A and B are shown apart, each in its own frame.
Chain A
Amino acid sequence: MHIIVCVKQVPDPESSPARFVVDEQARRVEPRGVPPVLNPFDENALEAALRMKDVHGDGAAVTILTLGHKLSTNLMLKTLGAGGDRLVRIEDDAFAQGQLDVYATCLAIAAAVRKIGPYDLILVGEQAADSNDRQAGVGMAHVLGIPVVTMASNLELRDGALWADRRLANRRERVKCPLPAVVAVSSDGAGLRYPSLVQLKAARSKPAQIWNAQDIGFDAQSSDRRLALRRIYAPRPQQRDCVMIGAESGEQAGRMLAAKLREDGVL
């Protein structure tokens, strides 16, 4: 079994808003001193792959696929330290922020997947914290011509098929899907396991390929885009006039808050 997990490097979404500098002229976001992290949604996808590997051992090989610009080596090592077997790192100026729309991104990832070779499963997170597109899983499946299961959890490989729970509006389904397939892993999973220092050290000797756009046969110039970024601006969260409840003690503040909310018709 060969599982490819797509992971994306993003600036840490939990960083202070002041550190995300919005350059309206250049139409880009400049993170200043924001550490790069694995897209939190992709951590769930990687964990799902590693859990299948826990079950199948060497019978399941996990390839980490990442595509981007100015990638952090330490971050990528973390994915191998956590249990990935091989890293395919595709780095190119063509993949810098704002160069591709989600459709072109799907084409590029599909090109990389084809170059990697035979696979049984491609796992992705539900969305990327930076571009917030939420459609790459379905898009890649479409481009590759294979089925897709979204909002999936409890993945299991059995009898040459994938079994998974998929979350729908008001129910959960256990589904069986032929391989190969794309799976968008649900974000209510447990998050990624922590690699130990020994594992992180061992990760350095795991196989890693570094390719560029040309290596995967992706021509950014001639690739279609469906969406064009027209404008970008910093959000101006509407400031509200905060009524501060001043009190002698916490207990008193709690009672006063309740009274005030009741008086104002909130409660």
Chain B
Amino acid sequence: MRYAMAIDTKKCVGCSDCVVACQTENNVPHGYCRDWIVENVAGSYPNVEIEIRSERCNHCDNSPCVRCCPTGASHIIEGGIVKVTHNECIGCGACIQSCPYDARYSHPDGYVDKCTFCDHRLAKGQSTACVEVCPTNCLYFGDLEDPNSDVSKALKNREWKVLAPEAGTKPQLYFLT
């Protein structure tokens, strides 16, 4: 089991529905977010390209945040999901500094919080809140080891890239280009 997500940068319109759905589902405090939208413009006319990405924690295979956690609050659960145990976290912020994707934030209650791939929903057989709510269906989520999962099919048929491959974190968020 290896959960992963693919994001179609051509279909994403940057509506931020995924951001709002996540905040609602996971009771994220006002002013914070576990996922966010990035809009990149490159080139000049007539070869301009806009890339809109819905980003979140990459749930890396080689996660620096888990390695640097002094209390073991950051850990990896089944399916490769990186999680934080809130009552073990001392809020030192080392993981926030170590993340090349800036995917973690300091919760006002004194611990570090991040995307959990909605593992509470996965346990019920549902998909993540962001994937379910996406109006253009540009997010694909599933098990990479299952060749029939949405994410495996999307990666098979399209070209893709990952963010900051030079960091060596082996991220599990794939951006279809």
Q: Do A and B belong to a common assembly?
A: no
A residues sitting closer than 8 Å to B (CB atoms) are none
Interface residues of B (CB under 8 A from A): none
